[in-house]
Chains A and B, each alone.
Chain A
Amino acid sequence: MENVIEVKNLHKQYNDFELKDISFTIPEGSIVGLIGENGAGKTTTIKSILNIIHAEGEVNIFGKDHKTYEKEIKKDIGVVIDDSFLSEYLNAKNINRIMKDFYEDWNEEKYFEYLKAFGLPTNKMVKDFSSGMKMKLKIATAISHNPKLLILDEPTSGLDPVVRNEILDIFRKFIEEDEKRAILISTHITTDLEHISDYIIFINKGNLVFKMPTQDLLEEYGIVKCSENDFHRIQKEDYIAYKKEKYQYEVLTENKEKFKNKYSITTIDKPTIEDIMLFYIKGGK
């Protein structure tokens, strides 16, 4: 399996924030979720990959350097950015006429099919769309030139569960249509990723915390619920972080089976991605 994106030592320094030597790969056929709280560095990572901001480090997309082959690479990428689009003062027909000039492979028929399927009007200005409609239009625009890679920055933020589900279905179908495609989704709504992602990349305060298969993360990690006495028996190297609740301690472990065997504690819950993220961010050690 080849990598669609290879990021090596990506570094970006701002006055008040630093993205610290992030490295990861995104294999073809996969949906990868980029998670982290607001301001963790998700958008900086995405913008650096797209060369929208200048960062140090090495980024290869489709095996090519993202700066040297920028224009060529971007022909095969579809992008959705939460708070940025062509213009609020255009309608879907205008967007079609503009996009034709950007992408040689722009598929007008497919674009209007998506609009119809998403129930989007073609003559209404984008500014008059609801948040869900705007997002669907951005997605239709991003996938109508048959891209090999989708990069999505917060595509489901501010949307109701029904629309979110519809959007996740679109991504699922997009990957199913061609197994060589890949999707990188940055989001802080982690429940969405539990259903569709193959890997999770977690960034916290500009640091890469982990990159793991979603299934392993959900199956192997565990939240141990124990008394204060039990908690003090646990060695620090056997847990990632803990939280002191009103009547008990909650401990996040990355290997619940090993933990069960070592400490004979049986109350271990399956965590959600959000639980794991919260333990890393808010938990103590």
Chain B
Amino acid sequence: MKTIKGLIKKDIFNLASYKMSLLILLICMCVMGMASSSMVNYIPIIAITMVGMIALSTFSYDDISKSNTYILSLPTNKKEIVLSKYIFIIAMIIIGGILGVIITPIVIQIMNAIHPEEIIAVDFHAIFITTLGGMFGISLVEAIQIPSIYKWGAEKGRIQMFILIFALILLIVGIGYLVTKIGIGINMEMIQNFLDKFGIPILIISIIMMHYISYKVSYKIYCKKEG
């Protein structure tokens, strides 16, 4: 467990060189959120996406320094190396979410102070749902991208990821098209009720499952790979 801590520390210290960029991103995020009242709702999504993507950049740091070979010479193993990456990335997604939840009401208060004629109410339930949705989205992207990076490297993995996501979108659109073409009746109200009742637990379980499966796949790929 201590070696996992060491591996996570390496990633954190690597990102420390990002300090200024992170601060600028945070300010940009707030400014973007202030663009309109409807944009405010997207702050958690923007925060999670930015932080999640920054977390993924640690793979590029490893590639530049060719650190994988060196790390494999240390008293650790491939399981701990892969696990540490997932722990770090999941932690970053959660931090992104918390950041979004904290920043959104602050931005709303600032906007209300600037435009007292257009008061926006702070809806914590909506912020929470948007945050969870954002976490689901970035988890899906990263669950696909991390195994791709382990397979093809940080640079190639990014291209492969876009292909995979494009294929996924095509599949979903295709299924939707088929459903309408065949004429299967969809009771939207029923779906809405179902989502209201079980949406949050489904999202949380999906996020956990996606990362778990992604971790298993990544570990399998990394075991076959030679340093």
Contact = CB atoms under 8 A, between A and B. Distances in A.
Nearest to B68: A84
30 contacts: A47-B226, A47-B227, A52-B72, A53-B227, A71-B76, A72-B75, A77-B73, A81-B70, A83-B66, A84-B66, A84-B70, A85-B66, A86-B65, A86-B67, A87-B10, A87-B61, A87-B62, A87-B65, A87-B67, A88-B64, A88-B65, A89-B14, A90-B13, A97-B9, A98-B10, A99-B6, A101-B2, A101-B3, A102-B2, A102-B74
B69 A84 contact: yes
B77 interface: yes
A98 B13 contact: yes
B17 interface: yes
Interface of B: 2-3, 5-6, 9-10, 13-14, 16-17, 61-62, 64-77, 226-227
Secondary structure of the A side of the interface?
mixed
Nearest to B3: A102
Q: Quick one: which of B5, B6, B77 has the most chain A CB within 10 A?
A: B6
Contacts of B10: 86-87, 90, 98
Closest 6 CB pairs of A and B: A101-B6, A79-B73, A74-B75, A84-B69, A52-B227, A94-B13
B170 to A, nearest CB: 35
Contacts of B16: 94
A75 interface: yes
Interface in A27-81: 47, 50-54, 70-72, 74-75, 77, 79, 81
Contacts of B14: 87, 89-90
A85 B70 contact: yes
Nearest to A54: B226
Nearest to A72: B75
A102 B6 contact: yes
A84 B68 CA distance: 8
Contacts of B75: 71-72, 74-75, 102-103
B9 A86 contact: no
A125 interface: yes
A184 B71 CA distance: 19
